[in-house]
């Protein structure tokens, strides 16, 4: 099932596929209006990650940072059975790349996502397992189908979700995270919602995703871009350091064209016309 562009009859920009040289065939990259869709197209493998998929995502997310036309990035999997099953265990090099390289593909993707100033939204359309939990956790927002299940089954094949912990440890309460890691047993979408792993669970994941996108896309692009930068910068800072940093940031927020337009629109009781600068 391909992702919908808009469920409403409003005119939309036709999707623009990325050039074949920029994206592997197993990763569909298409822009729907202001939203960039990254779809893992390996349904027969439950959308397991390959090195090509990971490298393609790194390239797409990094490129989007300098494209002001991209306001959000949606990450999902083909079909409705799986979001991402993690590493492809049928591959001889499921967990390794070139040992002479200090950075692996998944680690690079998590770093690029961490540095992204464009909101990343996970559309969890089915099973989200192992490395797929890393893709979910690296996103800023997440919407899940009710039938989706979530798990860290690495201990069942003799390994551990090491890199994934870097992005999961601040999302899930430690007791629940430890249980998932040590038992390898999955949790339901209702539990994922309770733990704060996703924002919303819905029978119609696409309708809920569009609802969330609509609430995001009518806001100031400049405020969101600088806001994500600020949020991510202060996460690991001590209180006094974060206060000093945010004191300087708030002054910069007010100097943007969007800030001036937003305040003027509020005073004139009209909708703002954002410039994104």
Model pLDDT for residues 83-124, shown as the tens digit of each residue: 999 987 765 555 555 666 656 778 999 999 999 999 999 999
Q: What is the mean pLDDT of residues 185-211?
A: 97
Q: pLDDT category, 201, cuts 50, 70, 90?
A: very high
pTM, two decimals, is: 0.86
Q: What is the mean pLDDT of residues 247-265?
A: 87
Q: What is the mean pLDDT of residues 46-51?
A: 92
Q: Measure the CA–CA gap between 194 and 155, rounded to whole angstroms.
A: 24
Write down the pLDDT at residue 96: 55
Closest to 165 measured CA to CA, from 181, 149, 153: 181
Write down the pLDDT at residue 276: 86
Cα distances (Å, whole numbers) of residue 81 to 49, 75, 261:
15, 15, 44
Percent with pLDDT over 90 in the chain: 70
Write down the pLDDT at residue 251: 83
Residue 220 has pLDDT above 50, yes or no: yes
Neighbours of 84 (CB within 10 A): 30
Write down the pLDDT at residue 24: 73
Residue 45 has pLDDT above 70, yes or no: yes
Write down the pLDDT at residue 12: 33
Question: In sequence order, which ranges of the chain are alpha helices (DSSP H)?
Answer: 51-64, 105-114, 131-138, 162-168, 174-183, 189-195, 205-217, 221-234, 239-253, 257-268
Highest mean pLDDT among 13-27, 78-92, 125-139, 261-275: 125-139
Backbone angles phi, psi at 150, to 5 degrees: -135, 140
For tokens 């949606």, the residue is: 74
Backbone angles phi, psi at 228, to 5 degrees: -65, -40
Q: What does pLDDT average to over the chain?
A: 88
Write down the pLDDT at residue 23: 63
Q: Taking the mean position of all CA atoms in its chain, how far away is CA 259?
A: 26
Q: Which of 28-32, 95-99, 250-254 has the lowest mean pLDDT?
A: 95-99
User: How many CA atoms lie within 13 Å of 60's alpha carbon, on the beta-carbon side?
Assistant: 31
Residue 70 has pLDDT above 60, yes or no: yes
Backbone angles phi, psi at 14, to 5 degrees: -60, 145
In tens, the pLDDT along 140-177 reads 999 999 999 999 999 999 999 988 999 999 999 999 99
Higher per-residue pLDDT: 251 or 190 = 190
Token pair listed for 126: 């089915």
Secondary structure class of 141 (helix, strand, coil):
strand
Write down the pLDDT at residue 211: 97
Write down the pLDDT at residue 97: 59
Write down the pLDDT at residue 19: 45
């Amino acid at each position: 099932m391909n992702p919908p562009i808009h469920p409403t009859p409003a005119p939309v920009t036709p999707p623009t596929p990325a050039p074949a040289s920029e994206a592997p065939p197993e990763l569909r990259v298409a822009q729907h209006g202001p939203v960039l869709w990254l779809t893992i197209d390996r349904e027969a493998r439950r959308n397991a990650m390959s090195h090509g998929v990971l490298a393609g995502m790194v390239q797409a997310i990094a490129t989007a940072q300098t494209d002001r036309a991209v306001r959000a990035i949606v990450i999902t999997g083909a079909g409705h059975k799986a979001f991402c099953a993690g590493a492809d265990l049928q591959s001889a090099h499921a967990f390794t790349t070139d040992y002479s390289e200090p950075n692996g593909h998944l680690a690079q993707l998590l770093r690029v996502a961490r540095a992204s100033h464009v909101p990343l939204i996970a559309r969890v359309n089915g099973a989200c397992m192992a490395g797929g939990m890393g893709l979910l956790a690296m996103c800023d927002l997440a919407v899940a189908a009710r039938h989706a299940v979530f798990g860290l089954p690495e201990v069942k094949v003799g390994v551990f979700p090491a890199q994934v912990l870097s992005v999961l440890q601040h999302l899930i309460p430690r007791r629940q995270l430890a249980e998932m890691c040590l038992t390898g047993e999955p949790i339901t979408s209702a539990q994922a919602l309770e733990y704060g792993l996703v924002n919303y669970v819905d029978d119609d994941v696409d309708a809920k995703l569009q609802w969330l996108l609509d609430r995001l896309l009518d806001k100031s692009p400049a405020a969101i871009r600088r806001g994500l930068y600020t949020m991510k910068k202060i996460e690991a800072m001590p209180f006094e350091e974060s206060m000093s940093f945010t004191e300087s940031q708030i002054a910069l927020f007010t100097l943007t064209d969007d800030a001036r337009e937003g305040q003027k629109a509020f005073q004139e009781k009209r909708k703002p016309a954002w410039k994104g600068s």
